[in-house]
Amino acid sequence: MTMTIAEKILAKKAGKSSVEPGDMVEAEIDYVMVNDITGLPAFEVFEKFDCQPLREKTILIPDHYVPNKDVASAEQARAMQMFAKKYDMPNYFPVGTCGVCHQVMIEEGFVAPGRLIIGADSHTCSYGALGAFGTGVGSTEAASAMALGKLWFKVPESQKYTVKGSLEKYVMGKDIILHIIGEIGVDGALYKSMEFYGSAIESLPLADRISISNMAIEAGAKAGIIPPDEKVFNYLKDRVRGDYAPLYADSDADYSEVYEYDASEISATVAKPSLPENTAPASELSHITVDQAYLGSCTNGRIEDLRVAAEILKGRKIASDTRMIVVPATKRVFEQALSEGLIKIFLDANAYVSGPTCGACLGGYMGVLAKGERCISSTNRNFLGRMGHKESEVYLANPAVVAASAITGRITDPSEIE
């Protein structure tokens, strides 16, 4: 029987020689992660079990509302701290040590090829970029996995996306996934696992691949997996915790759908409000002014993203009617940006730079939009009111477009200001 990557991982973790779409399996979990929002309900459920958590497998990362924005969020973060203390949890990453959960999971070496990782956060699918099966779950499920180290899954159908050719300058992994979602729609991969292949994907740095896998959920997918290669193995050297074994699809594996794209035909792409499928080339939206430009998040808050933006911002100033907010995804990204002089470039351009947090990405705090305001954002969701008032608007784009738009004060294809 031939299998896709998703099928191989689920079969292996369920201790079976093969599985097929629709099968129900109980599979061994490598790691389970909760954040400050989903953690609290998971801890409440966990206490009903009257057992010890699997300490090595459980990861606790406060990131959404920390540093605490108000009393309610302070209580939430405190509940996580208390839980970590009570059970002496080794993988608790409090404020000051970490950052946005998915990037922390990757940087800290929890994510590796062939692993099955669940997180009580929908963007857990990001881990597919390293050849892992990562998927979002509910708090009750996370609690159960913390106790048992396993969870049930329905084996999804897989889809194959092949992107050939090479990308133009200032066109990134983000544009590939926005382009795909623009074509297949926000339910184009419902229930399914997306797999990405082709020369364009192979030539992408890992950072760009993470942006692609990160947004698989925006097409309704359960996972978004890229076959791991040397770039992944090199990244994991000196970083990965434990052993890992990459798994690849059989060459004649069955896919429910097959799509092909030519990278050279993909331009710097923007998703207009209020769905990620509402895409248009950035160059066609140059009349749209922006009040805020946001660079950060699990989609595009890595050092590679900051470098692209800094290159454009260097020696320039943010438009007077626009504010720019830069949030390195993690402490490590922040340190790297500092040592490379990127933070200085952002500050010189009059951008506001903050420590790692999800804050603005989900309209939580710091960077919330007023009624009628517009933000060009490197994040992954532009739902109604996602970053603030229900009549504010979010346009999703890559870091180069965000930086170029911050300079002109309107949506700008970076090639326009070269």
Nearest-angstrom CA–CA distance, 192 and 7: 11
Nearest-angstrom CA–CA distance, 261 and 391: 35
First-to-final CA distance of the chain: 52
Nearer to ligand SF4 by Cβ, of 79 and 101: the residue is: 101
Q: Is 311 exposed, middle or buried, given 0-12, 13-18 or 19+ CB atoms closer than 10 A?
A: middle
| Backbone region of residue 86 per phi and psi (left: phi > 0; alpha: psi in -120 to 50; beta: other values) | alpha
- Identify what 358 binds: ligand SF4, another protein, none; CB under 5 to 8 Å per kind: ligand SF4
Nearest-angstrom CA–CA distance, 313 and 344: 11
Q: How far is the CB of 322 from ligand SF4 (least distance, A)?
A: 21
Residue 395 near residue 273 (C-beta atoms within 8 A):
yes
Q: How far is the CB of 365 from ligand SF4 (least distance, A)?
A: 12
Q: How far is the CB of 101 from another protein (least distance, A)?
A: 17
Residues 108-127 that bind ligand SF4 (CB under 6 A): 121, 123
- Identify what 332 binds: ligand SF4, another protein, none; CB under 5 to 8 Å per kind: none
**Residues whose CB is less than 8 angstroms from the CB of residue 268 and which lie 6 or more positions away in sequence, other chains included:** 170, 171, 175, 281, 282, 283, 397, 398, 400, 401, 413, 414, 415
Nearer to ligand SF4 by Cβ, of 290 and 361: the residue is: 361
Q: How far is the CB of 218 from another protein (least distance, A)?
A: 14
- Identify what 100 binds: another protein, ligand SF4, none; CB under 5 to 8 Å per kind: ligand SF4
Residues 352-371 that bind ligand SF4 (CB under 6 A): 358, 361-362
Residue 125 near residue 117 (C-beta atoms within 8 A):
no
Q: How far is the CB of 211 from ligand SF4 (least distance, A)?
A: 11
Nearest to 398 by CA among 322, 298, 318, 295: 295
Nearest-angstrom CA–CA distance, 357 and 175: 24
Nearest-angstrom CA–CA distance, 54 and 57: 6
Q: Determine if 297 is a binding residue for ligand SF4 (CB under 6 A).
A: yes
Q: How far is the CB of 380 from ligand SF4 (least distance, A)?
A: 5
Q: Which residues are near another protein by CB under 8 A?
A: 23-26, 45, 48-52, 122, 137-141, 143-144, 147-148, 152, 154, 190-191, 220, 222
3-class DSSP state of 353:
strand
Nearest to 120 by CA among 180, 74, 76, 172: 76
- Identify what 362 binds: ligand SF4, another protein, none; CB under 5 to 8 Å per kind: ligand SF4
Q: How far is the CB of 138 from another protein (least distance, A)?
A: 6
Residue pointed to by tokens 């040397």: 230
Residues 165-204 that bind ligand SF4 (CB under 6 A): none
Nearer to ligand SF4 by Cβ, of 269 and 380: the residue is: 380
Q: Determine if 331 is a binding residue for ligand SF4 (CB under 6 A).
A: no
Nearer to ligand SF4 by Cβ, of 102 and 192: the residue is: 102
Q: How far is the CB of 191 from another protein (least distance, A)?
A: 5
- Identify what 360 binds: ligand SF4, another protein, none; CB under 5 to 8 Å per kind: none
Nearer to ligand SF4 by Cβ, of 114 and 136: the residue is: 136
Whether cis (ω within 30° of 0) applies to the bond prior to 227 is no
Nearer to ligand SF4 by Cβ, of 322 and 379: the residue is: 379
Nearest-angstrom CA–CA distance, 355 and 95: 10
Nearer to another protein by Cβ, of 186 and 280: the residue is: 186
- Identify what 386 binds: another protein, ligand SF4, none; CB under 5 to 8 Å per kind: none
Nearer to ligand SF4 by Cβ, of 8 and 102: the residue is: 102
Nearest-angstrom CA–CA distance, 32 and 34: 7
Q: Where are the alpha helices (DSSP H) in 14-66?
A: 36-47
Nearer to another protein by Cβ, of 191 and 205: the residue is: 191
Site for ligand SF4, rule CB under 6 A = 63-64, 100-102, 121, 123, 297-298, 358, 361-362, 379-380
